[in-house]
Homo-oligomer: A and B are copies of this chain.
């Protein structure tokens, strides 16, 4: 079956919200999609009729098995295109999100399989997120939040918590990115800020908000 771009965007958004909390609410989804609760209710009826969500009035909702499959398909396309944009077209990793939001809705199955082969079956996208394979399977990222990284343990940044331009701009400014090696030197309980250090550079302070958006793997 085929789905509209809007339907795909709803499904993808529900998938992302489910990562945090299995049961998704109307207001949460409206906020995620910059739309109104009433519009969400309308769309949920459609998605329920298509058996993509399990939804009971006033009770919240979650994706059905079929819905998850659709979500993973869209995410696969999104992340493969991001990889293509960065690795082949020399885009910066902080400027590919919007373009991939459009490319992910191209329908050809053959296209995405051939693109995957052309890119030599990458496992992670430029933001460090795993790319689902054609069956929806993806590598588990055993990553922890920078807030939870013990002091003096070098770790590699593997993923960022959001794709907002504001965050990406800040990361660029501080020269932080996927693959950067970083170490926590000191924590300040008052505001949860922390002093961190990159190899060969002097230490600097990052805020709680920023630390929370960064995921690392110890090395």
Where the two chains meet, the residues of A that have a C-beta atom closer than 8 Å to any C-beta of B are: 85, 88-91, 95, 98-99, 102-103, 106-108, 110-111, 114-115, 117-118
Contacts and interface: CB of A to CB of B under 8 A. Distances in A.
Given A89-B111, A102-B108, 6 more contacts: A89-B114, A89-B117, A91-B114, A95-B110, A99-B106, A99-B111
Contacts of A95: 110
B89 A99 contact: no
Contacts of A110: 91, 95, 99
A114 B81 CA distance: 14
A106 B102 contact: yes
What is the total number of copies of this protein in its complex?
A: 2
Contact of A89 (B89, B98, B115): B115
A108 to B, nearest CB: 5
Contacts of A88: 118
10 closest pairs, A vs B, by CB?
Answer: A89-B114, A99-B108, A102-B106, A99-B111, A89-B118, A88-B118, A103-B106, A89-B115, A90-B114, A102-B107
Contacts of A115: 89
A101 to B, nearest CB: 10
A108 B106 CA distance: 15
A98 B91 contact: no
Nearest to A113: B89
Contacts of A114: 85, 89-91
